[in-house]
Structure 1
């Protein structure tokens, strides 16, 4: 279809053509589909008022005062005076600036929403936009409700010179205040989001979602290609490209966006410092039974260490995602280390366990060869540890407990992991977990292999499932180094004292969670129920402690290892 034919069709009020696949679309259906092509799935740009209608409940909307602002601070003229451009943009869009900011509700939950409109001077970031975004952040801070920002921008507004540049710092500072106050921030990236917006508030939110095909970057692809004089890879800077590289959390189709935001806001809770423990205690005590936990090593029968190793590695043993499917229907996975990678061997996100918002982070293996290979057999890369650290910091900001589920042979043994700073990433996690000001519970559900496991294991309470193992090295590795015969792995397993009973005796573990008959792999549901009861009972105790007391006791716990009883 030629450009002339495309313009002619789009001028017809009854029909339009998809700008991506050029297929003819019935306009009313296209609008009902939220401007998403039913043939190719392309998400067309929508106006800020349309976006507000798509996301916010109809009642309770209130505009946020935008102030007077600057009109033409530089007296700028290119081929037209800047005030003339502003007047034309306001008349054409019926907006006074490139962003709308208002209070409202998403699925009944109060939020502050800021929505950019690309029609208004390309959604450029100038003093007016910066002031409105900052006021929106201040309103969210005052109300202690989540700030949701929907971005669409070509970059900073050149007609305002260095004052436009300063809006990057101004808005970033506003989001930093929300970080300090423990208020959730979410960015929804729409196409396109470039320049000063991408390099400030769009990239600083706690959670970054993007519509399919949305582009996000500092410099646009045409500028990059002209600079480096070579073609860019297919899909460069697209939402899917960014998700694969750990720079955003999820790609969400437009028709699922409001529901996703509602679930995210609900799952994240109400921010730091507000009560949340009563609901957890009521849910666990209502079961009228104690968690199936053993704290006395004498109450556990001795087990064959090598047989225990085999059970811990059983391919049907529940994974982190298996447990989450049984424990919570509100899990919102968050992905990426925000520095360029997403490690599939570590999964994490927000969920509610018995109604209590929690950050869950765990190793992820799989049940067949394809899954195991795609998840690197549960061995994290440095990006996995950095993703875990990012989620722990978010949990601390929101005042949420952290629960880690450990099941890994150890750290990634490949050279790439060393090149990417594996030792630094593990060490940073150990330091971070030692001083997190929220309750932390770690459960070894399968293999707890060396520093790769400990990077998720510094906690107030550490539990092992009955047939889990925890060791400084694998039995095979120990046998190869010390016996110089890998076939002595069974002997090494016994010498390492890596079973749950022996680790409880060494006080490495605080308790052992009894597994169903035949092992956790024989009954995922019952194993998950035992895990739920244990976590609930323990968090009910830990959340009574003040943050400084949590940190003090956690440090004492690790201080004692290796000293006389």
Structure 2
């Protein structure tokens, strides 16, 4: 049996207070709806008797963890959770309440789509939903959606897929095409949340038992104390984490810099994120083609405030990874949250499939997102900085480097090959390219080399002193 709307609301939120949309113009409603659909009034009466609801959605305010939010929950038992005009009234009223109270909006979706008995009067509610979503987004308020079984048609295309963060319950149907209108012989697995997650269209699949905690953690990050400031301070620069080489010692040559950045035991992005954040939640996928496991994006809690992060994990970055980074930076801008980027890639992935997936346009999206960012972006090079695929992630004027890193216009081996030099000349090429981290500072590309954290590796990096610049960076500056 599907869980009812009120049972789910009781699970995820405390102190839920139901709200009702304002009354419309007085007058007797048309019999059987705007189309005069035979028996429509009887259908609604039976649905009300069966569910106890007057419409397919219930909305109100409640607390998730320590954050008050507007909640909008679908009752699938009421005409399949379909969207009609009165459904649109409630969805609009929920958004208006969220904006009036500066509250985040959580939508728990379970719908078969637009209500056929109301025809086009029902379908145009999707435009109404899209308008309200856009207004709430423009107001800088976070929107979270939970995909339940089923979420199809316009409900998937607007309420779910249009949210900032999209979560899903395991095994749920999620597709534009409902189960009765799909091509004959279509694989049912292609219409599940698992397939949508693999394709980069939603962020995470969450077991129902974990949903209350997950939603509370997300809201604490996106709408908790200290968020939403119009001009947030930059993210503090992390310390460098100790690697297998001499702690904190700068490399003597370009060849040594490259070797240290490529060392198997060097700390990678996950270690930096674990050391920097007390709690974090990830987003996943570019919303159009897929996800890149070599890029970690999300929001975390550092020293009591939220910081967005985008981190390369040392692998060639795929187009989906770059598009996810651009999505993260733009979302952080709307929500007034500063951004930290961790750079570590030999370069952009450059296989035939990567080119077909739009490697160039995807990298361009990140360059544009950083250039247009309305919140401060702080960048730290923690390993390899391979050409434009790495530079796209770097904030101009706010880039720092670790002792175990190098930045290069191209890898020294490839530079030697292009210049028609033998392999024995690769070390000389590395010197001529000036690849040491201190070279990046002297060339004006980076602001400084961060100090290495000593003691416990899990100590969050805070305001580390920086060689190569005067003084100590205050809050990332």
Q: Provide the TM-score with structure 1 as the length reference.
A: 0.77
The 3 A distance-change label for structure 1 pair 524 and 479 is farther
Partner residue, 1:92: 50
Contact 1:104 1:111 in 2 (8 A): yes
Matches of 2:428 and 2:462, distance apart in 1: 31
Instruction: Return the structure number with greater helix share.
Output: 1
Partner residue, 2:469: none
Partner residue, 1:375: none
Partner residue, 1:39: none
Partner residue, 1:447: 384
Match of 1:504 among 441, 450, 454: 441
Partner residue, 1:417: 354
Matches of 1:81 and 1:460, distance apart in 2: 67
Instruction: Please state if 1:461 is matched with 2:402.
Output: no
Q: 1:399-432: CA deviations, max 9, x gaps?
A: 0011000000000021111111111111121122
Instruction: Please state if 1:145 is matched with 2:80.
Output: no
Instruction: Please state if 1:540 is matched with 2:472.
Output: no
The 3 A distance-change label for structure 1 pair 317 and 354 is same
**Which has the bigger relative contact order, CA under 8 A and spacing at least 6?**
2
Contact 2:378 2:476 in 1 (8 A): no
Contact 1:323 1:524 in 2 (8 A): no
Question: What displacement does 1:459 show?
Answer: 3.9
Match of 1:492 among 429, 433, 446: 429
Partner residue, 1:359: 308
Match of 2:412 among 463, 470, 475: 475
Question: What displacement does 1:132 show?
Answer: 0.5
The 3 A distance-change label for structure 1 pair 390 and 469 is same
Q: 1:505-528: CA deviations, max 9, x gaps?
A: 0110001013368xxxxx8817x6
Contact 1:477 1:486 in 2 (8 A): no
Partner residue, 1:56: 13
Structure 1 unaligned spans of 5+: 1-43, 285-289, 294-298, 366-377, 518-522, 543-565
Match of 2:201 among 244, 247, 254: 247
Question: What displacement does 1:314 show?
Answer: 1.1
The 3 A distance-change label for structure 1 pair 139 and 475 is same
Question: What displacement does 1:129 show?
Answer: 1.1
The 3 A distance-change label for structure 1 pair 177 and 213 is same
Partner residue, 1:158: 116
Contact 2:463 2:476 in 1 (8 A): no
Q: 1:409-462: CA deviations, max 9, x gaps?
A: 000021111111111111121122112010101100000000110121134410
Question: Higher mean Cα deviation, 264-273 or 118-127?
Answer: 264-273
Question: What displacement does 1:346 show?
Answer: 1.0
Question: What displacement does 1:529 show?
Answer: 4.5
Partner residue, 1:205: 163
Match of 1:265 among 187, 205, 219: 219
3-state SS, counterpart of residue 46 of structure 1: coil
Matches of 1:340 and 1:97, distance apart in 2: 35
Instruction: Please state if 1:195 is matched with 2:158.
Output: no
3-state SS, counterpart of residue 100 of structure 1: strand
Question: What displacement does 1:76 show?
Answer: 2.7
Partner residue, 2:21: 66
Question: What displacement does 1:539 show?
Answer: 6.2
Partner residue, 1:20: none
The 3 A distance-change label for structure 1 pair 292 and 168 is closer
The 3 A distance-change label for structure 1 pair 181 and 488 is same
Aligned length: 459
Q: Provide the TM-score with structure 2 as the length reference.
A: 0.90
Question: Higher mean Cα deviation, 489-498 or 145-154?
Answer: 489-498
Structure 2 unaligned spans of 5+: 242-247, 467-471
Question: What displacement does 1:128 show?
Answer: 1.2
Contact 1:441 1:459 in 2 (8 A): no
The 3 A distance-change label for structure 1 pair 191 and 459 is farther
